[in-house]
Structure 1
């Protein structure tokens, strides 16, 4: 992987380029940085021509990027789309405590401490909402729920194992979007693909799912 710079409109943009055994050039914005994967032998001139062609869309994604956290003294974390200021009080205990919009962290390992609290809060919320949806909208047994870190997905349904898995990063989003992901994964127990019938099942529970889907696509994992 190498980094290069080029001018797009009136600004200099840095992009990371990696050559791989793939067929086509892939462009995406990850954590506010333009990341390019290209087949071996692809000329850099061709890659930059593609970047320039899609410059406005890429710039919009770069500018729209907002971090969900900054794990440091006087940093912050978004929890259910609410910003909490981090106050570090290292007493060697891996525990966090909320005081208004402050989140006190009682350990020097800020990230693992905050993520542990985020996992607890997210699991609690998801289990509560899954129970709600099963009682009102689905004829299903309670699935096993996992909370994991994913790079490019919000959730997964393992219907043969009666299990659903959710990305820990959901904790940073508002609850309406989390509910969309929950319903999406529960509907995979009915239809295992992304067919029109599958989305019809989502629409029965969330008539505004297309609006929620568009909002979710604007978020980074």
Structure 2
């Protein structure tokens, strides 16, 4: 993988290029960065022509990117899509406390403290929602809940082990998107694939699930 720069509308765009055994060029924006995969032998001239061809879409996606957090004093974190300002008061205690829309961090390890608090908030919310869904919408036993960091997924269902795993990054999203992921993973206890029957089960609980699914795909992990 190599890094290059290209000028688009008086704006310098950095892109990462990887050559692979493939037939067509693939361009995608992830976390505000342009990533390009191209067949071996493809010239930079042709690649940059393709970038200019799709420049409007690329720039829109890059400019729309909003980091979920900025871990420094005076920075911020999004919790359930609400912005909280980080106020650091290092007293050697690894915890956080919310006051209005300020999140006080009482330790120099800002990221560690905030992620610990986000873990607790997300776990509590998912547990509460799953109890509610299982009481009214699913005839299932309560599975074990895990919160992890994933690079490219929001959740996983391990039906044989009676556990579900969720990406910590869900804590930054709107609650209705988190609910969609919860329902999605619970429906995998009924159907282990992504068949029409599986999505029918989701639709019975969330009739507008396709709208939620589309919005979730627009989010970055």
| TM-score normalised by structure 1 residue count | 0.93
Distance 1:191 1:9, change over 3 A: farther
Which shifted more, 73-82 or 35-44?
35-44
Spell out, residue by residue over 1:81-132, the C-alpha distance to the aligned partner (whole angstroms, 9 max, x if none): 1111100011111100011111100111100110000001100100111111
CA distance in 2 between counterparts of 1:4 and 1:96 reads 40
Distance 1:174 1:6, change over 3 A: same
Q: Residues 58-207 of structure 1: matches in 2 within 5 Å?
A: 58-207=58-207
Q: Quote the residue 2:212 is aligned against.
A: 212
| TM-score normalised by structure 2 residue count | 0.93
Q: Quote the residue 1:8 is aligned against.
A: 8
CA distance in 2 between counterparts of 1:3 and 1:56 reads 21
Q: Quote the residue 2:29 is aligned against.
A: 29
TM-superposed deviation, 1:10: 5.3
CA distance in 2 between counterparts of 1:108 and 1:92 reads 7
Q: Quote the residue 1:17 is aligned against.
A: 17
Q: Which runs of 5+ in 2 are unaligned?
A: none
Question: Secondary structure of the residue that 2:142 maps to in structure 1?
Answer: coil
CA distance in 2 between counterparts of 1:21 and 1:107 reads 48
CA distance in 1 between counterparts of 2:50 and 2:157 reads 35
Distance 1:12 1:168, change over 3 A: same
How many residue pairs get matched? 221
CA distance in 1 between counterparts of 2:52 and 2:159 reads 42
Distance 1:91 1:7, change over 3 A: same
TM-superposed deviation, 1:25: 3.3
Distance 1:215 1:12, change over 3 A: same
CA distance in 2 between counterparts of 1:45 and 1:113 reads 47
Spell out, residue by residue over 1:150-206, the C-alpha distance to the aligned partner (whole angstroms, 9 max, x if none): 111111111222211111000001111100110011111111222221111111000
Question: Secondary structure of the residue that 2:216 maps to in structure 1?
Answer: helix
Spell out, residue by residue over 1:54-87, the C-alpha distance to the aligned partner (whole angstroms, 9 max, x if none): 3222222111111111000100001011111100
Distance 1:54 1:162, change over 3 A: farther
Question: Secondary structure of the residue that 1:124 maps to in structure 2?
Answer: helix
Spell out, residue by residue over 1:25-76, the C-alpha distance to the aligned partner (whole angstroms, 9 max, x if none): 3322122111123344332233223333332222221111111110001000
